[in-house]
């Protein structure tokens, strides 16, 4: 069977994970119910408590606090469960408890409802057996990683009777509607990511004890050196929770009798000692590390007492191409290098050994490790970098037999394991990602900072490129050239590398300030304004397809587009005040267009240079309109952007005509200036914050003039204020501080 659509979701279990899954679903615009055991006085009491707890979570699970009202609380007894399209079981990780709940609710489900378990590693077959036979074809495992809003990985695990169309439908829904990275797993203990990731952690812990290394030494060589996050191994243990780590490891150990590598899944003595003492990691304030008023401390493994963290002298590189880092590990001969190499060999050997047992394809293993544990490259990608023959030789030298998979690969094609793009299997959706669509298009312009790609049927895309896709003068000129071509019907404007654009080139601005090249700086501002105007007044609709960061000038490009298609996790904002200037590329003008005489309501957002946490917050602040589309699948924005442009044309779109804009006027400006002065007197605002605030308010209020103001006049006011602020020592200090530290300076 194939589910026609999914709009109503019921989550069973209002604990931390269940509540966060409910939050993720309501973020996606779904109708959500959160159910738990009925309370003594209030049947929905436990579910209400779970929803209330969402408001305290940091980082937030909800896009906006008010979305909590969209989650209806209830109990397992509620009749509404029969109206659900998808039921997600997320109760305590106990087989008996889950089976009892599934058996009790199954008779009440709609005939086409899909039911899934969020188990992190229990047998899907055993859970399916608790369901009636007529439900088992619609039952499967769908495992979200914690926290579900922020973790990309979702493991889909079919049961023995799961209908293939159910697997396909749910994989596509989770990938497209919820924006997750889906891998299909075989029904084995802990599936793919936890099976391999926890083995990797425990192997490092066992070898740490065998080699007599310290906590700092292990984290130094098992982090970025090996292409893993800075949390490395012991910090990661604390983040996961030592009790959770032991639970997952025990699930593997107890259900994998006589499996090679089983000894590494036993619990190391150091981990047992910390657990016995109640030190569970970050959630209890102490694990392998703890923070004190004096600074960060770590455990001395011999005594399990804490001492200050010490610097580690390590010759292994933590930067540069991963292949070069792995080569350095392979060639190292000191104690840290030997440890890192032995650990890497064991980890890759285990992945190669388990792949056919846990996965249907090699790339699913690599994606699971990338998305679930934030590795730079998956296991088989790293085997490519190292060479399968060299790895096989190292495994043999360690006293183990190379996995049969490696032997087969060597016989067929030496030194290459990972499947090529042409052989990769699309799990979440057959639709190409933006990167794949751009790669397949016709390259019409390829210059430093951007490329123009023809996508077919009159549509093209401009892709900004470079570090955070910043916008120096040459890129702005190229952008104008690309927009002004007459060859297309619709243009999408997007960015490479996971971001739209972080805006102006601050290093260039600071260089001009220090050289006193004010004419050149004004020319840069003029060029920037001309470029955003080119976007707004283009002869074809230019639709912004934005993900990641859209800040400063990048935000201004979005604001001037004909419409916007954005990722749910978009970080958007006019953040210029953080560096002591104001939006100078049409941003103030566009906020006047949106707010008019009520522009004072937007002032706090602009004055504080706020960046949105997500797209819905950006909409609440006025950066996005109600008609702008939000998608959680950030890898596929170009298609809806092109469709949106065509829809505008079908509705009779024509290039807008510049017209005077209503402004707040002198009375509102005077009121804002009084408020700024009061803030300074009360010590809430620093001196330069008042200067910047007055300059910003002056532009937003039309320079104090009454009546409608021409767009050209607002742009002129932007330039004047921007240049005036750049001439102050305090703004120069702010820009320099941001470039040096990445943090704003208050002065």
- Mean pLDDT lowest for which of 361-365, 404-408, 544-548, 689-693? 404-408
pLDDT of residue 485: 87
Report the pLDDT averaged over residues 617-639.
Answer: 96
- Mean pLDDT lowest for which of 5-9, 58-62, 702-706? 702-706
Query: Can you tell me which residue has the tokens 């997500």?
Result: 614
Kindly list the structural domains of the chain, giving each domain's residue range(s) and its CATH number in brackets, ordered by start: 8-184 (3.40.50.720), 193-421 (1.10.1040.50), 434-575+611-650 (3.90.226.10), 666-741 (no CATH)
Report the pLDDT averaged over residues 23-36.
Answer: 97
Q: Do 547 and 492 touch, CB atoms closer than 8 A?
A: no
- 4 has a pLDDT exceeding 80: no
Q: Is 448 exposed, middle or buried (0-12, 13-18, 19+ CB in 10 A)?
A: exposed
pLDDT of residue 412: 56
Q: Do 7 and 29 touch, CB atoms closer than 8 A?
A: no
Q: Do 245 and 271 touch, CB atoms closer than 8 A?
A: yes
The 10s digit of each residue's pLDDT in 296-332 is 999 999 999 999 999 999 999 999 999 999 999 999 9
Nearest residue to 144 (alpha-carbon basis) of 176, 175, 118: 118
How far is Cα 543 from Cα 484, in angstroms, rounded to an integer?
15
Report the pLDDT averaged over residues 185-208.
Answer: 96
pLDDT of residue 427: 36
The 10s digit of each residue's pLDDT in 372-403 is 999 999 999 999 999 988 999 999 998 888 88
Phi, psi angle pair for 712, to nearest 5°: -60, -35
Q: Do 42 and 48 touch, CB atoms closer than 8 A?
A: yes
Length of the chain: 747
Q: Do 606 and 551 touch, CB atoms closer than 8 A?
A: no
pTM of the complete model: 0.90
The 10s digit of each residue's pLDDT in 710-740 is 999 999 999 999 999 999 999 999 999 999 9
Tokens linked to 200: 């990797």
pLDDT band at 593 (very low <50, low <70, confident <90, very high): very high
How far is Cα 144 from Cα 156, in angstroms, rounded to an integer?
9
- Mean pLDDT lowest for which of 249-263, 274-288, 682-696? 249-263
- 351 has a pLDDT exceeding 90: yes
- 419 has a pLDDT exceeding 50: no
How far is Cα 371 from Cα 364, in angstroms, rounded to an integer?
10
- 227 has a pLDDT exceeding 70: yes
pLDDT of residue 202: 97
CA 614 to chain centre: 11
How far is Cα 67 from Cα 86, in angstroms, rounded to an integer?
20
What does R_g of the chain's alpha carbons equal in angstroms?
Answer: 28
CA 100 to chain centre: 36
Residue 602 is given by DSSP the state G
Report the pLDDT averaged over residues 222-231.
Answer: 96
Sign of CA pseudo-dihedral 679, 681, 683, 685: positive
Q: Do 589 and 602 touch, CB atoms closer than 8 A?
A: no
CA 296 to chain centre: 28
Report the pLDDT averaged over residues 605-615.
Answer: 96
pLDDT of residue 304: 93
Tokens linked to 205: 């812990």
User: Do the strands 450-456 and 459-464 form a parallel or antiparallel pair, or are they unpaired?
Assistant: antiparallel
Tokens linked to 465: 């490129």
- 548 has a pLDDT exceeding 70: yes
Phi, psi angle pair for 745, to nearest 5°: -110, 130
pLDDT of residue 61: 97
Q: Do 262 and 250 touch, CB atoms closer than 8 A?
A: no
pLDDT band at 258 (very low <50, low <70, confident <90, very high): confident
Nearest residue to 451 (alpha-carbon basis) of 481, 472, 420: 481
Phi, psi angle pair for 241, to nearest 5°: 105, 120
Helix (H) and strand (E) counts in the chain: 30, 20
Give the rounded percent of residues in the chain with a pLDDT score beyond 70: 96
- 1 has a pLDDT exceeding 60: no
pLDDT band at 263 (very low <50, low <70, confident <90, very high): confident
pLDDT of residue 408: 67
Residue 474 is given by DSSP the state H
Instruction: Identify any residues that bridge with 289 across adjacent strands, giving them in sequence order.
Output: 298
- 416 has a pLDDT exceeding 90: no
Measure CA of the first residue to CA of the last residue in the chain; give whole Å.
Answer: 64
The dihedral region occupied by 150, where left means phi > 0, alpha psi between -120 and 50, and beta the remainder, is: alpha
* SS3 state at 280: coil
Instruction: Identify any residues that bridge with 12 across adjacent strands, giving them in sequence order.
Output: 35, 89
Q: Do 281 and 294 touch, CB atoms closer than 8 A?
A: no
How far is Cα 659 from Cα 638, in angstroms, rounded to an integer?
30
pLDDT band at 572 (very low <50, low <70, confident <90, very high): very high
Residue 40 is given by DSSP the state S
- 425 has a pLDDT exceeding 50: no
Q: Do 329 and 341 touch, CB atoms closer than 8 A?
A: yes
- Mean pLDDT lowest for which of 39-48, 446-455, 626-635? 39-48
How far is Cα 437 from Cα 638, in angstroms, rounded to an integer?
8
How far is Cα 526 from Cα 364, in angstroms, rounded to an integer?
49
Nearest residue to 85 (alpha-carbon basis) of 161, 16, 151, 4: 4
Phi, psi angle pair for 581, to nearest 5°: -125, -175
């Amino acid at each position: 069977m194939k589910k026609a659509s999914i709009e109503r979701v019921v989550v069973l279990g209002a604990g931390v994970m269940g509540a966060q899954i409910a939050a993720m679903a309501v973020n996606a615009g779904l109708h959500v119910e959160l159910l738990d055991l009925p309370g003594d006085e209030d049947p929905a009491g436990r579910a209400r408590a779970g929803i209330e707890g969402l408001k305290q979570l940091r980082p937030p699970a909800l896009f906006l606090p008010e979305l909590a009202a969209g989650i209806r609380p209830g109990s397992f007894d509620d009749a509404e469960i029969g109206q659900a399209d998808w039921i997600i079981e997320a109760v305590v990780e106990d087989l008996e408890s889950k089976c009892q709940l599934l058996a009790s609710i199954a008779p009440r489900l709609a005939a086409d409802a899909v039911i899934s378990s969020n188990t992190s590693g229990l047998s899907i077959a055993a859970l399916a057996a608790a369901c009636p036979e007529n439900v088992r074809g619609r039952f499967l495992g769908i495992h979200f990683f914690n926290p579900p809003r922020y973790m990309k990985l979702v493991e889909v695990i079919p049961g023995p009777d799961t209908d293939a169309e159910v697997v396909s439908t749910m994989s596509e829904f989770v990938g497209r509607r919820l924006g997750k990275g889906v891998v299909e797993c075989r029904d084995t203990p802990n599936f793919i990511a936890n099976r391999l990731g926890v083995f990797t952690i425990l192997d490092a812990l066992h070898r740490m004890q065998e080699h007599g290394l310290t906590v700092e030494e292990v984290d130094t060589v098992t982090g970025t050196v090996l292409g893993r996050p800075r949390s490395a191994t012991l910090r990661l243990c604390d983040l996961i929770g030592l009790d959770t780590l032991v639970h997952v490891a025990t699930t593997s150990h107890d259900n994998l009798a006589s499996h090679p590598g089983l000894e590494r899944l036993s619990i190391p003595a150091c981990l047992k000692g910390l657990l016995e003492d109640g030190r569970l990691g970050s959630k209890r304030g102490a694990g392998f590390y703890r923070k004190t008023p004096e600074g960060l401390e770590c455990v001395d493994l011999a005594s399990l007492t804490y001492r200050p963290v010490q610097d580690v002298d390590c010759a292994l590189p933590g930067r540069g191409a991963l292949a070069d880092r792995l080569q350095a590990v392979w060639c190292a001969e000191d104690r840290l290098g030997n440890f890192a190499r032995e650990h890497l060999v064991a980890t890759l050997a285990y992945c190669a050994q388990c792949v056919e047992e846990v996965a249907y394809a090699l790339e699913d293993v690599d994606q699971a490790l990338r998305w679930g544990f934030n590795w730079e490259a998956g296991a088989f990608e790293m085997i490519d970098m190292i060479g399968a023959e060299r790895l096989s030789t190292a495994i043999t030298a360690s006293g183990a037999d190379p996995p049969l998979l490696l032997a087969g690969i060597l016989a067929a094609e030496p030194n290459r394991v990972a499947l090529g793009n042409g052989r990769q299997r699309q799990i979440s959706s057959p639709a190409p990602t933006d990167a794949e669509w751009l790669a397949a298009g016709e390259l019409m312009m390829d210059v430093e900072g951007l490329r123009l790609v023809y996508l077919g049927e009159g549509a093209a895309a401009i892709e900004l490129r470079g570090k955070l896709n910043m916008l120096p003068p040459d890129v702005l000129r190229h952008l104008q050239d690309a927009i002004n071509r007459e060859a297309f019907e619709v243009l999408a404007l997007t960015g490479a590398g996971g971001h739209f654009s972080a805006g102006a080139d601050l290093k260039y601005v600071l260089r001009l300030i220090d050289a006193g090249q004010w004419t050149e700086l004004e020319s840069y501002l003029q060029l920037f304004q001309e470029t955003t105007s080119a976007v707004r007044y283009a002869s074809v609709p230019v639709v912004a397809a934005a993900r990641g960061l859209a800040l400063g000038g990048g935000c201004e490009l979005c604001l001037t587009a004909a419409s916007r298609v954005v990722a749910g996790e978009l970080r958007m904002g006019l953040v210029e005040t953080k560096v002591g200037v104001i939006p100078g590329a049409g941003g103030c003008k566009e906020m006047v267009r949106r707010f008019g005489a009520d522009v004072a309501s937007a002032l706090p957002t602009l004055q504080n240079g706020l960046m949105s946490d997500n797209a819905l917050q950006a909409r609440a602040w006025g950066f996005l309109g109600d008609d702008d589309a939000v998608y959680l699948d950030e890898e596929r924005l170009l298609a809806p952007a092109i469709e949106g442009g065509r829809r505008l044309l079908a509705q009779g779109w024509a290039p807008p005509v510049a017209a005077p804009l209503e402004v707040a006027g002198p009375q509102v400006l005077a009121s804002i200036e009084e408020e700024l002065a009061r803030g300074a007197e009360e010590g809430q605002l620093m001196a330069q914050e008042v200067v910047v605030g007055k300059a910003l308010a002056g532009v937003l209020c039309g320079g104090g003039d009454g009546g409608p103001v021409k767009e050209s006049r607002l742009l002129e006011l932007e330039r004047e204020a921007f240049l005036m602020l750049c001439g102050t020592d305090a703004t120069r200090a702010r820009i320099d501080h941001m470039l040096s530290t990445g943090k704003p300076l208050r002065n």
